[in-house]
Amino acid sequence: MSAPKNTALLLASFTVQAELGDYNVSEHPPNYLSDLCLLPKQNAEDERRIRELHKLHKGQAPADAEANFLEHAKRLDCYGVESHPAKDYSGKDIFIGVTSIGIVVFQNNIRVNTFSWSKIVKISFKKKQFFIQLKREPSESYDTVLGFNMRSGRAAKALWRCSVERHGFFRLRAPRRRALLAALGALAGLAAPTVPRTETMALEDARRSRSTNRSFVRRSGSLVRERSAGAASPGAGAMRGSRVTANTEPPPRPAWTDIAQTMDTHIPEGDFLERRLRIPLSYVDDSETGSDAESVPGAAGVRVRLAAGDDGLFGFNVRGGGGAPVLVSRVASRTRLHLQEGDQVMSINGTDVEELTHEQIVQMIRNTRGVLTLIVKPNAVYEPEEGPEEPAVCFVPLNSGQLEGDVLEQSMLLLGDGLASGAALKQYDTLLRRLPDEPTTASKLPCNLNKNRYRDIAPYDSTRVILKNGPTGDYINASYINMEIPNSDTVLTYIATQGPLASTVGDFWQMVWESESSLVVMLTVLSERGRAKCHQYWPKVGTSPLKATNSLTVHTNSEQNHGHYIRREMTMKETGGGCRNVTQLQYIAWPDHGVPDDSAAFIGFTQLCSNLRNHRALIPTVVDPGDDDEDERVLAPPMIVHCSAGVGRTGALILCEVALALAARGQPLYPLDLVRAMREQRPMCIQNASQYKFVCESIQTAYAQGLTKPASESGSN
């Protein structure tokens, strides 16, 4: 496996950290790396650079250093690739690699082309030539066949066999039975190799090993010691899951089961704000019900009968439909006895749901009176079939000089690969929508329930905005989000909030005043498809000022329509004599369902928001001169961002601005980490995969066109 010089030096530094521990001047003389063979043709300059990188890894345990080594190694183009030397049509030397994604072509250790398994319809060879036939596109009237010259006929056959085996492992659901004529042909070595086991089967076996049929019980240490001499020692104990009881004692009480494990933090929460998802997700209900289940003779499913609760609802959610598998996404506690998250729903009340849309499925469940009968496939597995995973954490040292530009480019290439293969969206789907250990107590108080636009969108208590002089109390459905830019003193500060209700307009403007903010970004229209998304919380131009609270009035001075957004200039006045100018930017080019058509316009809008944030006059914050805490930083007033719920489009804009700031400073960009950081401060930020994909593709396009530098004030307007 080859690697760029900078990456090779970084990998070598992780090796040194794992072997020697933290750098110590007294223990490690200048030539302490000379006896270690870390790189081919290692020289003094290489050792110096490795030593500087080694210093940055202080505090990493050997296991952490090895994990960091693997995180970077697996991002290399040649990692895990079985290479076969060949020549292209012009006679240039190339390497053909076979991977889980498909067939890749390398030239001078650089990947120049990728043919995914989904695009390949035929793989063949003839004498010394190896052929790939690609799927015909709708606009094409011909088949595309690519040929490569191998060193020998045996080399061509070896590449063909390797490609067929990899394709079968990663793409087939189960091995295909060999026909009789094909089996006879195998005697002459002409048949394709069989795949005894596929990746899907391996994943299903792993899931089956954690099935709900396995239970665990608590054991008493005294009972273990009373076992016979031929049994395991007390230190070893019994096999996990075995039952150890005494004749004079009742059977031990179960301590935990996999039913409890299904209540894991990875359970996705339902939402009904933006229903048109890549795999739609919506509430059916969340009540507790009674249930019954039995096997279906002659079928690979289980019949589950659910009785409605006192409120006439059933205790589970579903997602999918319209061609996508219909999966159980959330289950109430009593229903979990016979229905689990991840089960695939095959039919409802005797009706096959394969061709039904998501809305039809939900409506069918809601219209059921009495007992609901489901045919489900337990523990259905739908894992990624191809593509590398986007890393969960970036371990690159961010102050390593020349390395910074390289890691940005590598992270963008990695993001592009993940989007092309679908792995980036698969990884997005695994993110926690909200933190299970963060309470949202304030939002559930009786006096605050009516202040929430949606019942499942609530701020964490630890990051919620607390009003000092709120007209109806200290609660507002809003969260502080702080995104720090590494290797700089920059912290992008936000308040993410829902679109104001008619009853919370005063709270909203009180929050604007108390936060000292002068920029409000609105990412929705007032109503969509006849449903209110946000109350008009500002007065129209030329009308009398809006009396937001007893002490605050708001006047709209001007309004300019720029096509995809509207800019309004407002003035807030307080009875005590205070006054502040506020700019509101309303983005109106985001459709009801889906994402904007023009990514360049959205990038430009985001840069305008960033420009106004960075160049507006800030109200100075008074710092106690007697405070000795030199590390305390004074954060600039936040940008207030809202859509309807304050999580979907709001999160998209925050992700876009932070990504642009990172790219402008040459920092590596891993969107998954940014979404995770946002959701640690406000739940459900970036509400669905289509929004995540849109922002990632927009950043990719901006980076490719050189638009990631901060926009000038004149250019943004």
Q: Where in the sequence numbering do the catalytic residues fall?
A: 643
Query: Among 295, 292, 317, 318, which residue's Cα sits nearest to residue 305?
Result: 292
Please report, in angstroms and rounded to a whole number, the separation of the first and last CA atoms in the chain. 49
**What residues have CB less than 8 Å from 250, skipping those under 6 apart?**
none
Judged by DSSP in three states, 77 sits in coil
Q: Which residue has the tokens 């990719």?
A: 700
DSSP 173: S
Report in angstroms the alpha-carbon separations of 245 from 216, 217, 219, 250, 373.
13, 10, 8, 8, 39
How far from 624 is each of 494, 516, 619, CA to CA, in Å?
24, 19, 16
Question: Do 362 and 284 form a contact (C-beta atoms < 8 A)?
Answer: yes
* Pairing of the two strands 371-377 and 302-307: antiparallel
**In this structure, are strands 565-574 and 552-561 parallel, antiparallel, or unpaired?**
antiparallel
Beta bridge partner(s), residue 582: 570
For 83, the 3-state DSSP assignment is strand
Lookup: tokens for 131: 């052929």
The β-bridge relationship of strands 281-282 and 316-321 is antiparallel
Instruction: Determine contact, residues 74/414, Cβ cutoff 8 Å.
Output: no
Q: Please calculate the CA angle 551-517-507 and round it to the nearest 5 degrees.
A: 45
User: What is the Cα–Cα distance from 616 to 611, expressed in whole angstroms?
Assistant: 8
Q: Which of 78, 211, 94 is nearest to 148 (CA)?
A: 94
b/e for 200-233, b at 16 or more Cβ within 10 A?
Answer: bbeebeeeeeeebeeebbebeeeebeeeeeeeee
